[in-house]
Amino acid sequence: MVQKAKILLVDDRPENLLALEAILSALDQTLVRASSGEEALKALLTDDFAVILLDVQMPGMDGFETAAHIKRRERTRDIPIIFLTAINHGPHHTFRGYAAGAVDYISKPFDPWVLRAKVSVFVELYMKNCQLREQASLLRLQMENGQGGRAASGEPPETAGLLAELSARLAAVEEQAEALSKQLDESADAAAVATAAHLERKLNGLRRALDALEPGAGSSVPPVASQS
pTM strictly above 0.85: no
pLDDT, tens digit, 9 for 90 and up, residues 129-144: 888 777 777 777 766 6
Q: Please give the tally of structural domains in the chain.
A: 2
Within this chain, do residues 103 and 165 fall inside the same structural domain, yes or no? Answer: no
pLDDT, tens digit, 9 for 90 and up, residues 167-195: 776 776 777 667 666 666 555 556 566 66
- Which residues of the chain have a pLDDT value below 70? 1-2, 87-101, 142-163, 165-166, 169, 172, 176-177, 179-199, 202, 205, 209-210, 212-228
Domain end position, chosen among 48, 79, 110: 110
Domain end position, chosen among 110, 138, 173: 110
Average per-residue pLDDT for the chain: 76
Residue 151 lies inside a defined structural domain of this protein: yes
Secondary structure (H, E, C), the chain: CCCCCEEEEECCCHHHHHHHHHHHHHHCCEEEEECCHHHHHHHHHHCCCCEEEEECCCCCCCHHHHHHHHHHCCCCCCCCEEEEECCCCCHHHHHHHHHCCCCEEEECCCCHHHHHHHHHHHHHHHHHHHHHHHHHHHHHHHHHHHHHHHHHHCCCHHHHHHHHHHHHHHHHHHHHHHHHHHHHHHHCCHHHHHHHHHHHHHHHHHHHHHHHHCCCCCCCCCCCCCCC
What percent of the chain shows pLDDT beyond 70? 60
The domain containing residue 73 runs over which residues?
6-110
Residue 155 lies inside a defined structural domain of this protein: yes
Within this chain, do residues 58 and 132 fall inside the same structural domain, yes or no? Answer: no
Report the pLDDT value the prediction gives residue 193, as an integer from 0 to 100: 67
- CATH number (domain holding residue 102): 3.40.50.2300
